[in-house]
Amino acid sequence: MNSFGRIYRLTTFGESHGPAVGGIIDGCPAGFCPDFDEIARQMARRCPGAGPAASHRQESDAVQFLSGLFDGRTTGTPIAFAIANGDARSRDYSQLQHAFRPSHADYSYTAKYGLRDYRGGGRASARETAARMVGGALAMQLLKREGISIKAYTSQIAAIRLPQSYRQLDLSDIDGCALRCPDATAAAVMLKAVEQARAEGDTLGGVVSCVISGVPAGLGEPVFGKLQASLAAAMLGIPAAKGFDYGMGFDDIDRRGSEVLDLFAPASGDGMLHTLTNHSGGIQGGISNGEDIYFRVAFKPVATMMRPVPTVDDSGNEITLSPSGRHDVCVVPRAVPVVEAMAAMTVLDALLIKRCNRL
């Protein structure tokens, strides 16, 4: 289960402290000219070392393409790429060789495989998401040609939550804020909370909201391949993700059906049907209806804290872990571009599948 997607398919490889992480993209249409500067820009958005909430690990995240391209164009064959790990400090994790960190994958990986790479979490590390960014960056460029855009942003950190709908926010310069929050007032309060948590050796969770615009009606499958289910699987596969909802989500379940019906508007000039409201979040019956798709992803407070933590070793003995390594105080700002990347691959895959559904 190291592969994602059905037609547009990404397989990733690598561990946090191995020589590299990388992947193979299959199903990318031939003849496409990727914008490599844009890929580099997207990679820089996720890389560690930037932002007040981020790990201080320094990685350039430069992508080396190994196959699938000729004269700057995709050939339709698998696109292989690698991203070198240049700033891994494995010595920071020597105490974890026999220790199980609470709320980490240490014990569950050992239970599954009988062994684990304890250096930085190995395959369970969020470092693996660098490979997802490459697949997502290419997918976003292909979607842009179809008039589809994806914007994610920080809508909550700890108890500080934006009350506005995405329609009331300016999402044109999310990266202009260190925490990727489009509300300057809320961002300032969030930043204070992050700084306080860092000073106390603690961590914070939060929520990433995402809106996908320009999606045509008809994407998604009616039963087991519902578009919202595909998006949920994509988002819940991101490290530290704990929850997903879309459209009205959990907020409006206490309302009556008559209050949340998405009534159809009279036919418009574009020949497509539209709805007066969008409580459905752009998806009905598991298939896109042409309205904006919007959803939220909840991320837990990071499990690694810079303070002593009681735990047990692999013999069941009680021990205390002393803080070491470089870790995010809050993953939410760095998760924003990963959410966009996973959404892009999901929608592109659904678009390619739809083209196989009818003559």
**Helix%, strand%, coil% for the chain, nearest 5:** 30, 20, 50
pLDDT tens per residue across all 359 residues of the chain: 899 999 999 999 998 888 899 999 999 999 999 999 999 999 999 987 656 766 655 667 899 999 999 999 999 999 999 999 886 565 666 778 888 989 889 999 999 999 888 877 778 888 999 999 999 999 999 999 999 999 999 999 999 999 999 999 999 999 999 999 999 999 999 999 999 999 999 999 999 999 999 999 999 999 999 999 999 999 999 999 999 999 999 988 899 999 999 999 987 777 789 999 999 999 999 999 999 999 999 999 998 888 889 999 989 999 998 876 667 899 999 999 999 999 999 999 999 999 988 76
Q: Name residue, tokens 């592969």.
A: 3
CB of 218 closer than 8 Å to CB of 274: no
Strands (E), 158-235: 160-161, 206-213
Beta-bridge mates of residue 65:
81
The predicted pLDDT at position 321 comes to 85
| Residue 87: per-residue pLDDT | 64
Report the distance separating Cα 206 and Cα 332, nearest Å.
Answer: 6
C-alpha span between 61 and 70 (Å, rounded): 22
**CA nearest neighbour of 69 among 38, 31, 35, 37:** 31
Contact yes or no for 15/90 (Cβ under 8 A):
no
Residue-range domains of the chain with CATH = 3-247+282-354 (3.60.150.10)
In angstroms, the CA 100 to CA 107 distance is 6
Phi, psi of 206, deg, nearest 5: 170, -165
Tokens matching residue 139:
């997918």
Q: What's the predicted TM-score (pTM) here? A: 0.93
